[in-house]
Amino acid sequence: MGEGVGAEGGVRVGPGTLHWRYAGEVRGYLLLVKAGLLQLMHPGLGAGVQYHSDFFDEPWERVLRSVPEIQGVTFDYPDGDRTARRIRDFHHHIKGTDAHDRRYHALDPETYFWAHATIFDALFQMIDMYDHPMSDGEKEQLYQEGCTVYRAYGVSERVMPTDWPSFQRWFDTMCHERLEITPAAARLVQFAKEPPESFPLVPAALYRVARKPSAKPLWWHAVGTLPPVVRDMIGERWTDRDERRHQRVRQVIRKTWPVLPARLRYTARARAGYQRVGIGPLG
């Protein structure tokens, strides 16, 4: 799968893998609300963000700081394992007791793997929805690559399912039995429906014009990517008509994507990795 041995004896995901091909696509931002909401609905992760983050004051800034670093685990090749451990070490102090007297720690195996799992799930969905329906072999390959990425963090993998079908069952169980509307999750829904007054990637004048008109369709699109049980939990209705419209939007994205220039299709972290190694989908 295009993997190499890391400096600390681990295995890295690099050129030749599905991660290297797809994990740097800007289309992944279409799944950010979904991944973020699922993360914040986990009690331990939601508490960590609520009590140890500036998410409530700077939601988009927090996301835009986090995403490039996470992508660096893949695109800082061959030193992605160092990036992973740096990210892990940011989380040692994130622990405490939530409002329900439940103890939490960011490096708890279930909590940390859930954060990774939501990102992997979003990557899978991005490919399957906006690029091509994945074969069973591709799903398994992508999952095993995701496991390799997770091992780079050096956090216990005891909750990590062994294969793609097991992961699907585990993920479904988590959505049904472990997730809840935490204060952080409720705030994310509020942010998505009524975006903050500024967004770092968009000029202020343009954002002021586009903020309110774009909020409803972007939230609708995000709702369409959620597991049905989560849609029900947050009180969102999704009809057959919604699903047909969503499929048409996905088809438009799939058809128009290849004609965009590479600098618009891939993140800066991914482009830097492709250019440094000389292997990648740029062109």
Q: What pLDDT does residue 280 have? A: 84
Q: Angle CA(106)–CA(166)–CA(103) in degrees, nearest 5? A: 20
Q: What pLDDT does residue 4 have? A: 43
- Among 238, 214, 27, smallest CA distance to 132 is for 27
- Among 45, 59, 27, smallest CA distance to 190 is for 59
Q: Is-contact 274 282, C-beta < 8 A?
A: yes
CA–CA separation, 131 vs 125, rounded Å? 9
Q: What pLDDT does residue 17 have? A: 94
Cα torsion angle, 138, 141, 147, 148, sign? negative
Q: What pLDDT does residue 19 have? A: 95
Tens of each residue's pLDDT in the chain, 283 residues: 344 434 344 446 899 999 999 999 999 999 999 999 999 999 999 999 999 988 777 766 677 778 899 999 999 999 999 999 999 999 999 999 999 999 999 999 999 999 999 999 999 999 999 999 999 999 999 999 999 999 999 999 999 999 999 999 999 999 999 999 999 999 999 988 887 776 666 677 776 777 778 889 999 999 999 999 999 999 999 999 999 999 999 999 999 999 999 889 999 999 999 999 998 887 5
CA–CA separation, 122 vs 226, rounded Å? 10
Q: What pLDDT does residue 200 have? A: 66
User: Is 0.85 surpassed by the pTM of this model?
Assistant: yes
Residues 6 or more apart from 255 whose CB is under 8 A from it?
none
Q: What pLDDT does residue 9 have? A: 40
- Among 112, 140, 5, smallest CA distance to 48 is for 112
